[in-house]
Structure 1
Amino acid sequence: MTIIVRYLKLSYNYVTIEESFLGFLNVDDTSGKGLFDITLEELKSLGLQIDDMRGQGYDNGANMKGKHQGVQKRFLDINPRAFYTPCGCHSLNLTLCDMANKCVKGKNFFGFIQPLLQVGEKDNDAAIASEATSLAEKELSDFEFLVSTVVWYEVLNRVNIVSKKLQSKDMHLDNAITEINKLIGYFKDYRETAFSKAIVEAKEIAIEMGIDPIFPQKRLIERKKRFDESSSSEEVSFTPEENFRVNYFLYIVDQAISSLETRFEQFKEYDKVFALKFEERSDIDADELYTELKLFETLETNEFSNPIDVLKFLKELDYFPNASIAYRILLTILVTVASAERSFSKLKFVKSYLRSTMTQERLSGLAMISIENEILESIDYEELINQFAIKNARRASRIVG
């Protein structure tokens, strides 16, 4: 497990968001209690107070985000101001899983793609051709597969763009909520207009590949009517194209909208950070904050592009203490755990086959040198070497004495 802290660097006219790597933790007990205990012990050893936490973020594992026994709940029991947000990127991945699992054809599409990608990595044309012949067994015709590919390409591309934005170090909760709302709006527009465009694009590809650009017509099974059934009642029948749109395209897009709204509901509740339920432990006074914000509206100022600019302006004025605290909390709340994921990528380089027996302290030290290399470049090496030499000289003199 890795620990990353997010904080603000403040000066008179300088505000930046920083995320720093503190080290790797060796975990034996992966339950919520086990992870909480080792995290709490590490924070105490680093001199970090739990009461100073204003946000916490993890991946979407049950042992981390559990409402009753998870790590986030145990920290909230100690400090209710440590507002928890699930990782935005993990939530987007789960949204895509929800979409793919919504209908059988969605599962079959990725069931076909996955082995094709695996054999593609081996650069084996015969294996690719063998996998391609199994397309008929996936309950998707050639043209249906092309339409599905066009739709999923656009969906994955859009989600990937938002995911990359959320991974930015300077991304904060207010902007993240805006990006998610834009994504939900995109899917609502996509639901109404995209299918016809996907059909046109898929037909162009089908013609180039020599594939009939038509949806297969399934055999209609006539059902005998019951004696009390009216002869005028008719079942709704779709054309093959409309059937694909209603039972596949609309299914996955509607699931995307529903899943996004559900999974990012926690993001939209960040006003709990400033709620009065914390009573005497609250960082701010709600009435005073309201008064400050109303006064701030009356000031003749330029429009601000983001909360960082607002915080800079508030610091210069120096008479909006509650609003300044509120914005500092907003900027330090985690949106994703991308920094932690990147540290695991570094771990693969540091802990190679030749270094498989190194101690935990050395592993964290080497990882910190690699991850926080900007700080390393600012260190005076000559001074560091002199201090090391002095310590060794003292040790040698004691041995001689």
Structure 2
Amino acid sequence: MNIYLGKDIQNELILLLSNTIKENILESARLAKYFSIIIDCTPDVSHVEQMSMIIRFVDRASGTDDCEPVHIREHFLGFLPLKETSGAGMTDIILNQLQEMSLPIEHLRGQGYDNGSNMKGDIYDALIEISEDTTLTGVSGNTARVEAQGLAKGIFNFKFVVSIVLWYNMLTEVNMSSKMLQSKEFNIHTAITQLKVTKKFLEDCRSDKGFSKTLVDARTVAEDLAIPALFEPEPVRISQKKKQFNYEADDEPILSPEEKFKINFYFAVLDRAIQSVEERFTQMNEISSVFGFLYDVHSLQNRTSKVILEDCCKLEQALQHGDSKDIDCIDLCSELQAVTTVHRDVARQFELQEETFTNVQVPAMAGEGPSQPKVPSTGTSLPTQTMPGLPEESTRFASITNFARQMEGRQETCRRNIEDRLQMIGDSVDRLTSVVELVALYK
């Protein structure tokens, strides 16, 4: 047998090819000097956390010719198993890997991370450590220390905590709506309803009551982080504006730091969010005003024929171009009324069946008083056949058996009626689907 067909030699060949390709990639990255890394983590089938590493750099070798522009390269370098998913553990692995690949950390100009839940390190402590690191010298080192000190001071601030709480509440609500809008079961009607809920949430937050609630949550977080729950005062500058008229009043600056934060940041962010919701879905509201009634057939039961005809006429006008039109409003109105009637009849059949099985009185057994099974829907009693020579218990058992057979016949009849009604609904839905497809093709 040929030894080159074995799994060991094949894996060795694949490893040699991988190392050669990886070395060529790293050689191009060293030639480019500056690079960035992209890190992502995901568990494998054996529940071991695997960290993928991607390098990104500008390929200068491809731009040796003046006619050929340089290219931005992005290469996958491999998977690295993680024993510890904390920020410190991932940092050690990244630093060791860069050292093995002979990529200086000083030339690292960008970092991208996904799956942020794995970054469990204390950012504030890391910034303080950088700002106090005396080994960072030179212009770049001093700049890094000053920037780290400024970031640490900005994080250790009650305003920052309040802003984080605000963004968390907003993005949580927006994320829920986004996931619901991306589901296959959603249509225009339900999408508009969900957007109204999101807008209502943002409007409730943009109030004094909403701001007070945000402050309560922020104070709880600040207490856990040992951050003073106070708005630090800022210097107030009063601009001297020349008055054009005598009746113009002087500008009164906002002296309260809390009130200033609420007006200049809190309300400003929520105003922009509300405005974005209104701007992004204005077109959807316009489409819903024309096609929305087709996606809410159940509500047609509470509408009059005149209102349904008006909606159909509006849809006909929207799909009309000159003398050519895709639908006829009268025919569509008739179809919708037929669907509504069938839906109402089927619902009534289910209600009658439920009432029948709920209110049926089972014949009394031995030792109980004489009674007859009654069906409230017809108001008739089933006769009890008395068989000579049989005890009273056998007679009542025969009555129950007779009653069960009659009820089984009623169930079969009701089932056939429901199947016929559902078939009619299916035909009507097929016709409505054709209309919706024409609408989508037109749009």
TM tier, smaller: 0.3 to 0.5
Larger RCO: Structure 1 or Structure 2 (Cα < 8 Å, ≥ 6 residues apart)?
1
TM-score w.r.t. the length of structure 2 is 0.39
Greater C-alpha radius of gyration:
2
